[in-house]
Structure 1
């Protein structure tokens, strides 16, 4: 690399490629009190400054960031040596990857040795900026570490900017849905530009994390802005929500609890602005939903059901002759328990609950089907735990945790237990959390048939096991 000495406001600095072995850690780095030697610095940076994580990232990338050069000054004693004045953590990480024995403990030595062995090529030389003195470097590295001041220095992205970056790079971000809603509101002119600028993305995200709230404004999931209500209902509910979020006197703010957010969703219903005409087919607002009328969908679903043994036989023959024929969507059915599911249940009460669940039309009687399903879920879990000598907890979520733990000891795989563990640990805000299920049953909202269908389908293998056991 050709080195060129540059003068900026009378201060000289020189870009240069330097051997790692000639660079020494800074004992006077602002991250810590003055330390006596390099070993003490390494110990401190490992224990207090997350050098393990940084070294792992460098090992995986095969490089330190090319956007952030190391800054050094000539060592005050070692001939041809340099002291780091910017990049102490990065140089420490490189030293540990190059020589894991520099780590103090045996556990740390094994960790950095493992990272080092996983690298395709070691990093023995780094690009650095050589300053003539520590004072000459202060102006520049203070811009990075003291943050943005009056437009000078590195200005951190806010939550909206981070979410926008993640959207453009296809990275996961908890604020992504909120950003998409803001962009949608801007494009549809639901609020004035000055109001859009006042929206707090983290406050919006807090509300969007609550399934009942999402249900009442018409969002079909937590990942995007697909909706399952007519556009006008969604726009009405979204406009109210966004407007409330910039009103200091409203119930939409950053300090709400899950109960507060559910109460706000209920208030939208009382005020007549909630989205209530849920349909099965999710769509992006601005595009026509494939089915806008639930009654029309039910009629279509009913007309497709064979009405006689002859029609049933004909349908079966056609399916057998055309094995690649698309199967009906699992959400487009009327019963929670599919006809292929069987269970031999000894407990009389549970058997009665199960039969009613299997017989009920969940499209016409969705709330009732959801209530019976919850009863089957809790009763079967309770009886199963008792059959294994476990005293069931009084709360359903805790019972489900007990069940997952017991089934794990019986050989159920992590994959088989994934959904059960998810709902058991979802707290109050998970889509399929017991608390959300209870909210539907106690009249806090009206579930869609698809909700209970999917809940059953995800739990089917676990329920088959527990029902046949009790």
Structure 2
């Protein structure tokens, strides 16, 4: 741990702050803080100007020639905007910060004492203790449950399941451990998100790790990942954010290590589930035991608790979306549909936002995969057909679900582009909660796959 005065211009507001997840750049991160916390940001900036004090040094990490702020982003943002009011995201805020700059008593600080940590793993340990528990204190803005979840998903800390330990035990039982020790912290960071876990054939359900495919298919993937991490071919810095994690798994896919065969189409309202009935499925999911990796099958799962009444379009389950910086608008819409808008109170708003999310997701897949079969003048139904065909060809969806996607241009069907459009544009076609949830239950898998492209 080192404390040192650093130039304010050398500090970079973290675009992957756990308050919001990954954004494009520092400007987007500053904009998010004022979009979501303008009142608090104004109060903090005013306090800084009146006292001329920063009572807690920002926690920073040196990245190339810039220091990334991991704790203290709000303070650093306010100081940056007081120093350069034109960087504020609105005319009103520019005037506000210009006034603070003019009223600053004494010499404005161009250098700021910071806590410099070269070890990013230690930085996460510090953040874990500062933000993920019930803690108060003057000047502290506690994380919400969702902010805490973002931290857990990014870092792999505090999630309750040691994925790396389970993988190591499976490899050991199969006699496939690498020669060097697997760095657990790096493996847990890579597989902290359900969407990324699904890509390597595992899922965390009710606090336990399960395989989603036959162990003979999954073990070679475990072995390759373990070897890459143990030999430091892939290091912690390569997997620091979701962009890096996805890029690594994409490389494995390009090399033929991935993908796994697609799972059968899930039931309504579900995310990708683990194998529910190992005794009757060829993709039996074994658990390692004394006799080797296939000695004992999974015990039958207890019956799922009776679901509570659904009040939002997106049910409160893990849909395994890997939220990357380029899908932040999509994430905002998703969270409104999952946490804010109520089916019985806001059916029209939900219908419109669902249609927007659906098309943005399709366009994201087209852009990220450079799908040349799609033309600029293609209607949405043609885009969807081509995306569905590409997903089936790449074995990211099964034939049953691909067939369902092909039927989306059927105007008479409930799950159709025409139905989505009429929900938005028709003065006589009123969306009902039951129709909206039925649409979501059919479309959710396509949306998730396209968001994860």
Q: Give the TM-score of the pair, scaled to structure 2.
A: 0.36
Structure of greater relative contact order (alpha carbons < 8 Å, 6+ residues apart): 2
Larger Cα-atom Rg: 1
